[in-house]
A and B are shown apart, each in its own frame.
Chain A
Amino acid sequence: MVATLAATWRHPARRRRLLMILSGLLILAALGARHLLQQDGWHDPFMAAAALLAGGDIAVRAWHSLRNRHVSIELLVTIAAGGALLIGEVWEAAAVTFLFLLGAYLEARTLDRTRQVLQGLLELAPATATVVRDGQQVEVAPYEVLPDEIVLVKPGSKVPVDGIVVGGRSAVDESAITGEPLPVEKSTGDELFAGTVNQAGLLRLRATGIGADTTLARIIRRVEEAQEEKAPVQRFIERFARWYTPFIIGLSGVAFLLTRDVELALTLLVIGCPGALVISTPVSVVAGIGRAAQRGILIKGGDYLENAGKISALALDKTGTLTAGRPRVTDVVALAPVPVAEMAAVPAGGSGRALEPSNGDSRWSAQEQDVLRWAAIAEAGSEHPLAASIVEAAGDLPGLSDADHFETFTGQGVIAGYGGQTIAVGTPALLERLEIRATQRAETERQRLQDEGKTAVLVSVGREVIGVLGIADTVRPDAAEMVRRLRASGVKEIAMLTGDNRRTAEAIAHQTGITNVHAGLLPEEKLEAIRRLQSKGHVVAMVGDGINDAPALAAADIGIAMGAAGTDIALETADVALMSDDLLKLPEAISLSHATLRNIHQNVAIALATVGLLLAGVLLGEVHMAGGMLVHEASVLVVILNGMRLLRA
């Protein structure tokens, strides 16, 4: 019992809580004595005891600060409460000191919850790692893992270091890093992040980043730096707050000299702490940036948060942002069936009947599958990106095989031999080499596909053009939804900047709902496009991959990097980094910034109004000590609770 009490006493927060409860009970006892028991004689001693209990701790802290040559808020409260006791206002003294402790307690509790988000990130780091040393499994602390060492991650446990998978296969929950709720499949060659959770199988990984060198540690560092960096509003408020307290102390002195009213002078001291004012901005910034981090959105700091909240125009790169960034077969046109004699060359697909492909890509008819199959056989050995898209589209159609021999003609295509047949896949010029003339229909289809912004490829078997393939970089499925949500969150102008040709760019713009298209741009022209938007009075955000967009990203008011997990450059340089590659994070980041900025403005308004009303109330004699302290502490709590709304945004 004594030991617990002593421990409580040594712990400042627990001691204050104990004193707060005792002082509250004494106040209740005093009120009860007067109003219920009609024992007026007990009232004052109980109240005085309550004031001394709560005020004692405040006075000790005030004294401690004074010895360090610092005039603290505690000193003002001590003088006010002490003065109130001297002039016999025991109720005021008790109420002021009790409310001061209660307010600080509630504020610490609620603020802690806004800081919790980061606490959660810190706790993601596991306590131990299992490494393989000399063929033995050894448990070590995560920071003791050596670079390139093999680490085992068991199912259900957290990944202790950053690394590359060298064995095993599993689903990994990366939500802590990317904000994505769905687990990601990981197998040999994939990157793993410390702090993610292995959900299914045993994974072996080679350590690449340890301790402070992990993506998780970098995120924590960045989020903290961001939260600590002061927004312009905060710097302004702090300048205001710096002279507010001395001003109130001076005012209190002047008021006493003019009116000889001790209580008025003491009441002014009570409201001398600019509490709600100084806390209004930090609480919103911490909550907003913390919430964003939780959702896989890293905002570099208060400055950027304010800017992001004002974004009115957004420029995006096409490739890799609006589109998947790699070509895919979008159209297969079958023109003529492959002659039966020639079909014999294909061992498994020889009937011409529709064969259900096992990869589920049944959107192609049997004839179209034939076109794909022949094209894929010819392209199987080629390393051209377009070839890869054809092989991928063919998937595991039956009857696929490697060509017997093939030759690549740069800029034209591929001519291959297979089972005695000659296959050509490419441009009309390529077919000319074999003296094959594309039919009128083939030419029409080719033209149509090109008009749609696609790359058109002719496929011939023997002497016959059997089909045309359309290949394009496809629009990502949620690109149109992203554009819609960006508009809904107040972005007026959305511009596509691309180095690609106008026809392709227009096609993508049409599919996503973007009207402002700048095509065929060099990197420095992208920068000019940003400048033009800015000269129209827009606050411009630029979304890009950070390398070839670097000048434009730097020129924009806010540079946003996507898919930043694992790429340090993006993490370090971007003003806003989206950890995952999810397009919908973009409107989310912007609306969260809007919400945070709104929240800051609300809080500053609440705080200024409170200070003004309190000051007026005190000077007019309407507000007394206890009431002043109550309003003051209540306003601080209101501001904190308002900021906490962002945690659920």
Chain B
Amino acid sequence: MKTLLRSRELSCPSCVVKIEKALQNVPGVESATVHFNTGRIEVEHDPAQTGVSRLVEAVRAAGYEAEPSAF
């Protein structure tokens, strides 16, 4: 399943790798892409193993607030 998160707090492109790695280390996440320019975070994950709230939690642990978005 693909989940889209949006964050309004990305301030330096160095956070891109930080958030991507944090998400990729969550079990059940296949891939994570952070777009610095728009603040869009695309996560490919197994919903049975990892819910959306767990993804938000992982981004928060990396130091940023993000919200799920429909499109």
Contacts and interface: CB of A to CB of B under 8 A. Distances in A.
Given A13-B65, A224-B38, A69 B14 contact: no
B71 A217 contact: yes
Nearest to A238: B13
A73 B13 CA distance: 10
Given A285-B37, A286-B37, A111 B11 contact: yes
Interface string A46-83: 00000000000000010011001110110000000000
Nearest to A636: B12
Given A64-B61, A104-B11, A108-B9, A282 B22 contact: no
A5 B8 CA distance: 22
Interface residues of B, number: 28
Interface size band for A: 35 or more
Contact of A61 (B24, B63, B69): B63
Contacts of B63: 12, 16, 61, 64
Contacts, number: 88
Contact of B40 (A64, A212, A228): A228
A121 to B, nearest CB: 11
Contacts of A16: 63
B28 to A, nearest CB: 16
Which of B24, B37, B62, B64 is most buried by chain A, counting CB atoms within 10 A of its CB? B37
A125 to B, nearest CB: 9
A221 B21 contact: no
A151 interface: no
Nearest to B21: A68
B60 interface: yes
Contacts of A108: 8-11
Contacts of B22: 64-65, 68
A115 B35 CA distance: 12
A43 to B, nearest CB: 30
A241 B25 CA distance: 25
Contacts of B69: 122
A635 B24 CA distance: 32
Given A12-B60, A13-B9, A13-B65, A227 B37 contact: yes
A68 B10 contact: no
Contact of B12 (A65, A107, A286): A107
Contacts of A107: 11-12
Contact of B38 (A12, A68, A105, A118): A118
A112 interface: yes
A11 B60 CA distance: 8
B68 interface: no
A115 B38 CA distance: 6
Interface of A: 10-13, 16, 61, 64-65, 68-70, 72-73, 104-105, 107-108, 111-112, 115, 118-119, 122, 143, 211-212, 217, 220-221, 224, 227-228, 238, 241, 273, 275, 278-279, 282, 285-286, 636
Given A68-B18, A282-B36, A286-B37, 15 more contacts: A12-B60, A12-B63, A12-B65, A64-B62, A65-B18, A68-B22, A68-B25, A70-B17, A73-B14, A105-B11, A107-B12, A112-B8, A143-B70, A273-B14, A279-B12
